Structure 1
Amino acid sequence: MFNSFLKRTSAKGFLVASLLCSGLAVPAVAQEQGVHHQSSEYEAPSDPLVQQKLEKWRDQKFGIIIHWGLYAVPGIIESWQLCSEDWIERDSTIAYEDYKKWYWGLSKDFNPVNFNPEQWASVAKKAGMRYLVFTTKHHDGFNMFDTQETDFKITNGPFGSNPRADVAKHVFNAFRNEGLMIGAYFSKPDWHSEYFWWPKYATPNRNVNYDIRKHPWRWNQYKQFTYNQIGELMNNYGAMDILWLDGGWVRPLETVNDEVRSWGAPIPEFSQEVDMPAIASMARKAQPGLLIVDRTVHGPYENYQTPERRVPETKLENPWESCLTLANNWGYVPNDNYKTPTAVIHTLVEVVAKGGNLLLGVGPKPDGTLPEEATVRLAEIGKWLDKNGEAIYNTRTTKQYQDGSTFFTQGKKGTRYAITCLPEDKPVPAVLEWTGNAPKKGSKIKLVQDGKTVKWVKEGDKVKVYLPRSLSKSPGAYPALAFSFTAAQ
């Protein structure tokens, strides 16, 4: 029974739930179920060390988020098939309790014998990525670090005897050695914990499955469990820059608004808060200046906002990052469809021009290696950033951030940049034009990729840039062209 089920889920990504993550056409309501929207409010941090770290993070612009866990073994969407909500599709011939036993039983099969975090870090570095967010635990409760709070962890399975069994430790070290900022993803809900999903009751949805008001002892146990696990990550795994907390439905009741209720799953009329003040105090004692990203829970513990699977329509002044995938899914799914390097570069340019960072999702295979499709694409993105990163890194927004396919950024010393995104199916034109952001009269425009000066003229509000013939190569040879100049204003 499960063999036929696995063939279907691996090949198709389990119908609707996979379509949610693929961007393909599915009902609008279903598309929204597993996605965290950007919160509508923002409260800037007051701690000077956090402010300093936040500005450093804003300079990085491009990061990688790695989802890796039990879900990689059958190659299905991360965690969500455990959730009994009507947008989730599972094989109807399999009882829910049997499915949970099978899914959690994958811990006996997860043996990533080719685990190579140095390769991951090298690929990310060469891609131009400047920070990491690694999934230490997703909603399914399987821990990718050697927690002492539960036996449900990578170090308690067939990989446990491997010298690198504590995979989070080695991932963090590998990326740290490449000079990237380090972030730990941690799911506030834990569907494997009996203190969150009590086996006494059914699990109707993503929320805690009992009334916390009637069973305060059990919830206090869960709060302590969460506190202790985050404490392990903050004290035992080296220097941390970001604590990236997912599962925004686990939140204080007073922060639940119509926006949160629109996510689709019912929100209980009691707090599912895990005592963020205590967690933040403990975490920052161990990691001064730590950025905390309590996703969608506006307030002092959401140091930057995280719109998921989309780029905001307009420029935002608050710190933010778009969380997007390189393929269709966050984790590894066989035969997934990958975005082209040009598409990712165009998105990065747009995100940065609008004031954000791009956090790109990549899922390693169950054996511990990165899919070749991912490494090839990331290398191409890195080649472009090697030559054009000056217009991306360490920049901030301009008053006019876009004109058609041309986006604008500004360096900290005042240099203005124009980045024109070019179509993949057409050669580079002889002339590029944009309106606004005109260079200072008599100044030069330089092509960032080689530092050479290009001819330009201003006609009314329009700037015309004449490109050298050497750029007339095959379609797609240049995903985008960046120019630097001194702006008139």
Structure 2
Amino acid sequence: MKKNLLYILLLSFCNVSAQQHYIAPTDSLVIKKLSQWQDWKFGLLMHWGTYSQWGVVESWSICPEDEGWTQRDSTHGKTYNEYKKNYEALQTTFNPQNFDPAKWAAAAKDAGMKYVVFTTKHHDGFCMFDTKETDYKITSPKTPFSTNPKNNIAKEVFDAFRKQGIATGAYFSKPDWHTQNYWWPYFPPKDRNVNYDPKKYPLRWNAFKDFTYNQIKELMSEYGKMDILWLDGGWVRPKNTIDTAVEWQRTITYEQDVDMAKIAAIARRYQPGLLVVDRSVGNEYENYVTPEQQLPSTLLPYPWETCMTMAGSWSYVPHDKYKSTNELVHTLVKIVGTGGNLLLNVGPDANGEWDTAAYTRLKEIGEWMKINGEAIYNTRPASIPIYDHSYYTISKNKSAAYILTLLKEQDHYFTNGALFQVEDLYGGKFNHIQILGTNIKLPVKKYRATNGLPMLEISFPNDNGIRNLKHAVVFKLIK
């Protein structure tokens, strides 16, 4: 993850490719899990590592690819090599004494989140789990937090969220800019890619493949039940897996095949039905597609999830600006109304704390979800998703349908005698409307607009008593 316009544009091209190349799973257990995942709708993503001590973008400041967005601060090193050395030395000072994953899990549950994806390792290679493959990890004696009883951070996070009934996913970076078998010190790194030709040095590349395979095996076999393996770093792939016309292809320097068939097989040996998300690659190991910081305007023909920051950055940045609760609820409604899930990111700080704004936003989202969640969970979108700031969902058993209408920040109720008109997408099957959060049931007037569209007219009686409707109002259509 990073803040870079070019990258986002490239990723959007890549998601187009994913649409063209999406391959639906055939494993019955994976198909079942994917359907469950589509019911969950709302999850938590966390980017956390040693970089939180400097409050800089995760990993990318050590990548020599683009000076415009790396946030490289000369106070941390006057040259690239000095900066990278000091960055990697953050391992020796990382000591998040306030780390309390139970507090995070409780906040996520209260907000209505159903799954979590945690960064076990980002591109910089620092492992937030007790891997046996490297000493660049949270449990190393070099890391002060290693003496803490909760030193195996990923395990503590997964255990805490499972206790709250929240499904778990492991974010794992395929590229690793710390291991000498990806960025070989013999050559200087030029960009995000492996800095040698794997075909010329197959023994070194095979050592990297084994390293990657063994770390994923550890995560899948030693950290309890896992629902999702969320693989980032889509440039690590066989070059022939994407149409050469796609812009992303130009950023892939060498063939970087890590043998996803072998990785998926070992992962599912320990975790039957596991969703594997080899994001942005567009093959049978990308069980759902993950547009980044984007809101599709129409229904997409494959399972998808928008990953998005609650604040401005993926990782912790001091004084970051958090999106309002109104904007976040609107984002959730728009995504669910167009068939996707929202994976919302929070970045803990160096002490293992969330910003108070994150807790506030989740609490307020949870208040809305407790009233309106039935229009979110276990639903599917209507065939025409958007009409005049309204989004349509229908329960899986088709017993109820919902119209979710966005309200502005200052709107909290509908005035007496107001009329509300929406398109009837359900062919007149429903005869009454209930406003969720109230006991009020309203009759439905059906008519056709001048353009021939079937319409529903909702009339609000005088003294309707409807107050305190925030962010989005949900009309439940009842047969």
Assess if the C-alpha contact under 8 Å between 2:13 and 2:247 holds in 1.
no
Aligned to 1:47: 27
CA drift of 1:35 comes to 7.8
CA drift of 1:296 comes to 1.1
1:484 is aligned to 2:451: no
Aligned to 1:104: 88
Residue identity over aligned pairs, in percent, reads 47
1:164 is aligned to 2:164: no
Assess if the C-alpha contact under 8 Å between 2:333 and 2:404 holds in 1.
yes
Letter aligned with residue 437 of structure 2: Q
Aligned to 2:422: 434
Assess if the C-alpha contact under 8 Å between 2:2 and 2:60 holds in 1.
no
Match of 1:171, SS state, is helix
Partner of residue 221 from structure 2, selected from 221, 226, 235: 235
Partner of residue 301 from structure 1, selected from 280, 285, 288: 285
Assess if the C-alpha contact under 8 Å between 2:298 and 2:385 holds in 1.
no
Per the alignment, do residues 471 and 78 of structure 1 end up closer, same or farther by CA in structure 2, a change over 3 Å counting? farther
Matches within 5 A, 1:28-67: 28-29=5-6, 32=9, 37-38=14-15, 39-40=18-19, 41-67=21-47
Per the alignment, do residues 18 and 232 of structure 1 end up closer, same or farther by CA in structure 2, a change over 3 Å counting? closer
CA drift of 1:441 comes to 6.9
Matches within 5 A, 1:43-442: 43-86=23-66, 87-89=68-70, 90-91=72-73, 94-156=78-140, 157-258=143-244, 260-262=246-248, 266-268=251-253, 270-414=254-398, 415-430=400-415, 431=418, 432-437=420-425, 440=428
CA drift of 1:121 comes to 0.2
Assess if the C-alpha contact under 8 Å between 1:37 and 1:306 holds in 2.
no
Per the alignment, do residues 259 and 378 of structure 1 end up closer, same or farther by CA in structure 2, a change over 3 Å counting? farther
1:447 is aligned to 2:438: no
CA distance in structure 2 between the partners assigned to 1:124 and 1:375 by the alignment: 9
1:466 is aligned to 2:452: no
Assess if the C-alpha contact under 8 Å between 2:23 and 2:284 holds in 1.
yes
CA drift of 1:485 comes to 1.2
CA distance in structure 1 between the partners assigned to 2:11 and 2:36 by the alignment: 30
TM-score (norm 1): 0.90
CA distance in structure 2 between the partners assigned to 1:221 and 1:29 by the alignment: 32
CA drift of 1:454 comes to 2.4
Letter aligned with residue 45 of structure 1: P
Q: Bigger CA drift: 124-133 or 431-440?
A: 431-440
Alignment gaps of 5+ in structure 1: 1-16, 21-27
CA drift of 1:429 comes to 3.1
Assess if the C-alpha contact under 8 Å between 2:403 and 2:476 holds in 1.
yes
Assess if the C-alpha contact under 8 Å between 2:11 and 2:248 holds in 1.
no
Match of 1:383, SS state, is helix
CA distance in structure 2 between the partners assigned to 1:334 and 1:214 by the alignment: 44
Assess if the C-alpha contact under 8 Å between 1:440 and 1:486 holds in 2.
no
Assess if the C-alpha contact under 8 Å between 2:316 and 2:348 holds in 1.
yes
Letter aligned with residue 457 of structure 2: K
Match of 2:312, SS state, is coil
Match of 1:142, SS state, is coil
Deviations 1:30-89 (A, max 9, x none): 654688942232100000000011111110000000111011111111111111112444
CA distance in structure 1 between the partners assigned to 2:323 and 2:464 by the alignment: 28
Per the alignment, do residues 440 and 72 of structure 1 end up closer, same or farther by CA in structure 2, a change over 3 Å counting? same
Q: Bigger CA drift: 35-44 or 420-429?
A: 35-44
Assess if the C-alpha contact under 8 Å between 1:250 and 1:273 holds in 2.
yes
Per the alignment, do residues 83 and 387 of structure 1 end up closer, same or farther by CA in structure 2, a change over 3 Å counting? same
Match of 1:159, SS state, is helix
Letter aligned with residue 298 of structure 1: G
Per the alignment, do residues 246 and 412 of structure 1 end up closer, same or farther by CA in structure 2, a change over 3 Å counting? same
Letter aligned with residue 43 of structure 2: G
Letter aligned with residue 299 of structure 2: K
Per the alignment, do residues 441 and 229 of structure 1 end up closer, same or farther by CA in structure 2, a change over 3 Å counting? closer
Deviations 1:401-455 (A, max 9, x none): 2102010000012111111011113343333221232673782111122343124
CA drift of 1:456 comes to 3.5
Aligned to 1:9: none
Q: Bigger CA drift: 121-130 or 85-94?
A: 85-94
Q: Bigger CA drift: 253-262 or 308-317?
A: 253-262
CA distance in structure 2 between the partners assigned to 1:306 and 1:274 by the alignment: 20
Deviations 1:355-386 (A, max 9, x none): 11110011111111221010000100010001
CA distance in structure 2 between the partners assigned to 1:347 and 1:126 by the alignment: 18
CA distance in structure 1 between the partners assigned to 2:223 and 2:50 by the alignment: 22
TM-score (norm 2): 0.91
Aligned to 2:451: none
Q: Bigger CA drift: 73-82 or 84-93?
A: 84-93
Per the alignment, do residues 105 and 418 of structure 1 end up closer, same or farther by CA in structure 2, a change over 3 Å counting? same
Letter aligned with residue 419 of structure 1: L
Match of 2:382, SS state, is coil
Assess if the C-alpha contact under 8 Å between 1:249 and 1:260 holds in 2.
no
Aligned to 1:457: 445
Per the alignment, do residues 198 and 36 of structure 1 end up closer, same or farther by CA in structure 2, a change over 3 Å counting? farther
CA drift of 1:257 comes to 2.8
Match of 2:170, SS state, is strand
CA distance in structure 1 between the partners assigned to 2:54 and 2:12 by the alignment: 22
Letter aligned with residue 23 of structure 2: E
Q: Bigger CA drift: 434-443 or 377-386?
A: 434-443
Count of aligned positions: 460
